[in-house]
Structures are given as structure tokens and as C-alpha cells.
Amino acid sequence: MMLFWSLLSLLPLLVAAVPTSSAEEKIWDSLGNLSPYHPAPIPVGVSADLPADCTVDQVMLMGRHGSRFPLASELVYIQNMTYKLGNASAAVAKAKLPSSMQFLKEGYTTKLGHDDLSAPGRLELFKHGVNFRLKYPQFNATSILAGGQDRVIESAQWFANGYYGRIWPNISSTVFSEIAEDNVTVSWITPMDTCPKWDYNYGNNATVAWGKIYLPAITKRLNKLLPGVGLTDDDTHGALYACAYDLAAYDVSPWCDVFTTTEIKDFEYELDLLMDGAFGYNLPGVMGPTLGSLYVNKLIERFSNASAEPVYLEFGHDTTIDMILTALGLAKDTPPLSASGPVNPNRKFRTSNQVPFAAQMVWEKFTCSSSFQGPQIRLVLNDAPLPLTTCAQSKEDKAYGTCSFDAFVSSNNFSTSISWGDAAWNSTCGNPGF
């Protein structure tokens, strides 16, 4: 225990050690759902703060786990690329490389693990816990719920250490709980697991198609700089993953400077297509809104109940947040994102801003003495209000990104008309059969 608190005493030094140059931030902020945490941009014309006469009465947090090592399926690309460069060390040594690629002459190796939370991910969640306590000092959370996956569980625990401080070890057994992530547990954190018709390949197929468009040009450029190495598009993919995951693991990556801004933006679009295709608007029919309806109904149920807890702290995945946004009709592009391009720089569905590592979806129910009449609701996504455009009615709503709670409920009648396992759910997802 003394060691833990000694490490926490180094927190200011750790924070100070994180690179902050504008060039690095630009790279970090454009890595889609693999971006380290950063605040989303505040929409033009929308106030970040509520009027002074307003009081937040109830809060629900859905947090994503922090920065992690690559998934096993992603790590293979990095390892294969590294192995190929190592086998071609003589060709690399002879190559005339720009300054951004000189690191290759020293030999690039990777020691990345897979799937688990990284050290920067722990720091992200600890800081979130501290900041949440400071932002809502009027509340004292009495429970934390985490999806039953190791990186989610550990993220929730680091948040708890920041939020509760030194008393956390004494109360953890009564405050902390998990909800299984499997195909027999109905969960608003992983609703796709109990939807037999859902398939991850809805998104994966789109990324493969887009990769065939944007990766060859990068591979050709790199092979001109590295004659004799014989890089493939898969190797280029591995190098892009190395940029994102070195950052996630070590706060720095030599690979990020290898790519142009356009190339990074194309990689970001690939990740947007993946999330939109597997967990968003490009799922078939109404599957996306149906999956997200479980959370929307939970939100409405809690905010409608006068005896509900004042604060809920829950932790899941980027996919959780994307499905919620889809059910709400937010961040929706018309026409939808296309795997054939072109990349729309003004698209609404942008995972870099929606679901970076350690993303925070915070719902506030509030009342005001004069600025608004009756209970209101607001969504703060990654420290920036995300306007509730589907239910906004007044000029005040537009100024603060809010809407009345009654209007919010009415605008989400699609979600409230669905219950897990009913005819509407089963017609979209199939019968789970348990």
C-alpha cells in the first residue's frame, strides 16, 4: 500500500513528462478510437458551462477503458512488419532515409503486449476520477459498475482510486461490481453480445475495402525510401498501428512522424468506418439504434425515478458509447460514411472526438431557478457539450446544447418502444434462445 501511494506522489511528474507540442497533439488527436484521451472541441456557439442559476441534480457516467495494448489481431501486423524490417537490416542500413525514418537504421523492435491496459491508460483513468470528484463535489457515488473485461475492470479501479482516494481499499468490496460480457447476460454495456444476428464483420468488411484504396499509395512511398525491403500493405498497416499503440503504451512513437497528415487522416477514416459499420449507423436496418436502446432506456428510467441514485459510475468500451449515440440519432451523417470515399473532413461520426481511449460520456439532469423551466438534460462528451439536436426546441437549448427532459423522452420513443427480448428486439437481433 505504501508503494502505491509513493507512486501516486509522482503523478505531477508523470503528467509533466507527457509531450505537449502542437504537432504531436495533432497526430494524437487524429488516431480515431486509438487516440489517447483529449477533450473534444466545443461546438461553435455552444456554451461549455451551464448558467449560474442551474444545479445539476443527477449524473450518469459511461466511461471507456483507458489506453491499452493492441488487440492480438492488431499486434500481428506490428510484429510481422518488425520481423520483415529486421530481416532486411542490410537494405535498411544502405537506404537514404529522411530524418523522420533514421530510427530504422538503429533497428526497430517491439515489446508490446496485447489487450491489457497500459501505464498511460491507468494515468488517464486516475486523473478522470480526481477531476470527476472536483466537478461534482455535491455527490458521493456509492457504486461503480464495470463490464467484465480485464482492461475495463482495471480502468474502473484506477478511476475509483482517483475518486475515493485512500479509503478505496476499505470500501471496494461493497462499492465495486462487474457485469459479465457474454452471450447470456443482458447488458447495456455490451448489448451486441446477446444479439445473435450482430456481426463484427459489418465494420471489418468496410475497413478492408477502404484499406485497398488508401494503403497502396503509402506502401509505394515507403518502398521507394526502403528499396529491397519489400513492404506490403499489411506492413504499412502494421506501421500505422505501431504509431497508435506505441503512443498508447509509451506516450511516444517514432512511427507517427513517418506519415503525412493526409495518411493519418485516411487511417482515422478507416477506424471511423470500423466503428460506424460494426456499432453505428452502417449496421443493417435498425440494428444500431436497437442495440443502443438498452442504455437509453436505462438512462430514462433512472432520470425519471425520484428515488434513483444521484450519481452512477459505469465503465465499458468505445463500442458502448457509439451504440448509444446511434440510438439517440447523434453524430449521424447523410449520406452515411462510405468505404469507397471520399473522406469527408466535416463528417459528424468521428471516433477521434467521440471515443478516444478513456472517453467520458457524462449525462447531467439539472434544474434552474430562471434560465430554464422544469428538468433539463445535457450530454457532455469528452469535456465538451454535444448538442442534443434531436430534441432541442428553444434558443436556450441551442445555446447550451440541452433540451427539456420531457422532450428528450419524447424524442427517444424508438428506444422506449423496445425491450430486450420482445418482438421488436428479436425481429432485429434474432432470438438468443436462453
What is the full DSSP assignment across 173-241?
A: HHHEEEE--STTS--SSSGGGG-TT--THHHHHHHHHHHHHHHHHHHHHHHHHSTTT---HHHHHHHHH
Report which residue type is found at 214.
Answer: Y
Q: Tell me the sheet residues that pair with 384.
A: 381
Give the whole-angstrom CA distance, residue 278 versus residue 339: 13
Share of the chain residues as helix, strand and coil, in percent rounded to the nearest 5: 50, 10, 40
What is the signed CA dihedral for 265, 266, 268, 273, rounded to 10 degrees?
140
Report which residue type is found at 85.
Answer: L
Give the whole-angstrom CA distance, residue 178 versus residue 147: 6
Give the whole-angstrom CA distance, residue 114 versus residue 68: 8
Q: Which residues contact 334 (CB under 8 A, 6 or more apart)?
A: none
Whole-Å CA distances, 285 to 20, 205, 210, 280, 343: 43, 17, 22, 11, 23
Q: Tell me the sheet residues that pair with 404.
A: 376
Give the whole-angstrom CA distance, residue 421 versus residue 429: 9
Q: Tell me the sheet residues that pair with 99.
A: none
What is the signed CA dihedral for 118, 32, 97, 233, rounded to 10 degrees?
100
Query: Where in the sequence numbering do the catalytic residues fall?
Result: 65, 318
Any idea which residue has 528499396 for its cell? 227
Q: Which residues contact 296 (CB under 8 A, 6 or more apart)?
A: 324, 327, 328, 412, 415, 416
